[in-house]
Amino acid sequence: MVAEKRFVSPEDVETIELDWGTLKWMNTPEVTGSSGFSAGVVVLDPGKGHERHTHPDSEEILYFLSGEGTQTIADEERTVTAGEMVHIPSGVEHSTINASWDPLRFLAVYCPPGPEAEIREVAEATIFPPGEFPDA
C-alpha cells in the first residue's frame, strides 16, 4: 500500500543494514507514491563500500553529505567529499568506497525507481521496521 507521505522522517521508514553500512529509502513509490524517482540516505562504514555493479534501467545521482570516499564510474576513479555530486548513467559499472575513518554519508537518487527494492532483497540485508534501528 502506498502511504503518499509528503513529509518523511528517518523514523518513518525501515532501515536496511548490510555488511558495508546502512540505508534509509526516504522516497520510494511505497513511501511517497513517487513514480519518477527514489531517494535515500546511505551511510558507508569506515573502510567499507560496495563492489562494482550496474543498474541497467536506472540512472543514479550521488550527493555526498559528509566524509571522504573513492568513487569509480566506468574506468574513472576520483576522491569525493561533502558537497560534490556524481551522475552514473544507466548500465555503467560503478562503486563507492569509504576512504576515511569517519562514516561516508550521501544521498542516492535513482531515476526511475527500482534498484532500491533490489538492494532490500539481497541475502545479507537485515531489515529493521520503521522506528527500530540497528544496535550501535
Q: What is the pLDDT of residues 3-15, one digit of tens each?
A: 678 999 999 999 9
11 in any annotated domain: no
Question: Domain range for residue 26?
Answer: 20-128
1 in any annotated domain: no
Q: What is the pLDDT of residues 27-53, one digit of tens each?
A: 999 999 999 999 999 999 999 998 899
Nearest-angstrom CA–CA distance, 84 and 19: 25
Nearest-angstrom CA–CA distance, 63 and 114: 19
10 in any annotated domain: no
124 in any annotated domain: yes
2 in any annotated domain: no
Q: State the pLDDT at residue 132.
A: 87
15 in any annotated domain: no
> Which CATH number goes with the domain that contains 83?
2.60.120.10
Helix (H, G, I), strand (E, B) or coil at 29: helix
Q: State the pLDDT at residue 2.
A: 62
Q: Give the chain's domain count.
A: 1
Q: What is the pLDDT of residues 62-121, one digit of tens each?
A: 999 999 999 999 999 999 999 999 999 999 999 999 999 999 999 999 999 999 988 888
pTM over 0.85: yes
